[in-house]
Amino acid sequence: MEELELSEKRGKRLKKPISPPSTIFRRSLTLALVLGSGCAAERGGDPPGRIAHVEARLDRLESDVRRLSTALDKALGIEEAPRVEGIEIGQSPTLGPDDAPVTIVGFSDFECPFCAGAVATLERVLIAYPAEVRRVFKHYPMPVHKQAVLAHKAALAAAAQGKFWEMHHRIYASQDKLDLDSLRAHAQDLGLDIDKFDAFVASDAGLKAIQQDREQARKLGVLGVPAFFINGRFVAGAQPFEVFQRVIDEELASPPHSR
């Protein structure tokens, strides 16, 4: 499948198509085999028989390339799983237009280094697709991360005062400081009402919101973070920008009724 090259500065996709690596690989193999065939023919081989032999080899090689491409997609976490319809957004924090044709629902953990690594990629996506993509944040602190729940409660406390994304950025920028004093310092720097912040963190309100997202993740089959659903299409892990670009462009090119 051909993809569209991206111009991030203007936030628009260029019209010139580029060939995916698998297509380039096939063409390179074809050229190499054809050149080899020509040399053999010049040395006195049977041209018709040699051509048939090369064509058979090409068929086998193309089949191998397709299998390798499928395996690569699976390794990258973008295998063709059934699209998940109707993922509930609820009161989850969002960035981007509400009517954007593409929605990325992401389950993340504030103590997870891989989730932190995905932050810059997602920011790049929103810069590249300012009118086409909406990002949704879902809370999924993993049990192995002992300070994650507190960090998520702090983010929810900031959200209650309209500063979720500001807190989100600060937490990911200083993952080595997720103790209560550091989180309270973030809240003060953001100008939050510290008494309301403390009361929210001490209450069960944050835990209830976190548990709702965890339960949603469980029903969706999420086993690790970060985990993303791009219009319901599952993408696992902190993938490079090009993986998000590929799926987004495919979604934008598809009829609205099929998204």
Q: What is the pLDDT of residue 82?
A: 82
Rounded Cα distance between 210 and 204, Å, is 10
The answer as to whether 87 is a domain residue is: no
Confidence of residue 49 (pLDDT cuts 50, 70, 90): low
- Predicted confidence at residue 209, as pLDDT, reads 96
- Across the range 217-235, mean pLDDT stands at 97
Q: Lowest mean pLDDT: which of 156-170, 223-237, 244-258?
A: 244-258
Q: In which band, very low, low, confident or very high, does the pLDDT at 71 lie, cut at 50, 70 and 90?
A: low
Which residue, 44, 76, 108, sits at the end of a domain?
76
196 lies in some domain = yes
Q: Within this chain, do residues 60 and 100 fall inside the same structural domain, yes or no?
A: no
Over residues 128-176, the pLDDT tens digits come to: 999 999 999 999 999 999 999 999 999 999 999 999 999 999 999 999 9
Instruction: Report the C-alpha gap between 16 and 13 in whole angstroms.
Output: 9
Backbone angles phi, psi at 107, to 5 degrees: -100, 125
29 confidence band (pLDDT: 50, 70, 90): very low
32 & 102 share domain: no
| Structural domain includes residue 88 | no
> Which residue among 76, 111, 133 closes a domain?
76
Whether 129 and 243 map to the same domain: the answer is yes
- Does pLDDT of 45 surpass 90? no
221 and 108 in a common domain: yes
Q: Is residue 164 situated within a structural domain?
A: yes
- Count of domains forming the chain: 2
Residues 71 and 100 in one domain: no
Q: Is the pLDDT of residue 101 over 70?
A: yes
The whole-number pLDDT of residue 46 equals 56
CATH number at residue 250: 3.40.30.10
Q: Which residue has the higher pLDDT, 71 or 115?
A: 115
Mean pLDDT for 64-88 is 66
pLDDT (0 to 100) of residue 61: 65
User: pLDDT at residue 30 above 70?
Assistant: no
- How much is the average pLDDT of 95-111? 98
Within-domain flag for 181? yes
Q: How confident is the model at residue 54 (pLDDT cuts 50, 70, 90)?
A: low
Rounded Cα gap, residues 2 and 62, in angstroms: 17
Q: Are residues 99 and 72 in the same domain?
A: no
pLDDT attached to residue 185: 98
- Is 237 found in the same domain as 134? yes
Q: Name the one residue in this structure whose structure tokens are 């628009």.
A: 12
Q: Is the pLDDT of residue 225 over 70?
A: yes
Please report the pLDDT score of residue 172 as a whole number: 98
Mean pLDDT of the chain: 81
Torsion angle in degrees (nearest 10) through CA of 118, 120, 122, 126: 180
| Domain end among 25, 47, 76 | 76
Residues 61 and 151 both lie in one domain: no
Kindly state whether residue 156 falls inside one of the protein's structural domains: yes
Q: Are residues 64 and 110 in the same domain?
A: no
Residue 70: its pLDDT value, please?
A: 54
Bridge partners of 236?
A: 227
Range of the domain at 234: 94-258
Asked whether residue 82 is assigned to any structural domain, the reply reads no
Q: Are residues 45 and 157 in the same domain?
A: no
Same domain flag for 127 and 190:
yes
CB crowding 103-142: b at 16 or more within 10 Å, else e: bbbbbbbbbbeebbebbebbebbbebbeebbbbbbbbbbe
For residue 84, being part of any structural domain is answered with: no
Identify whether residues 217 and 168 lie together within a single domain: yes
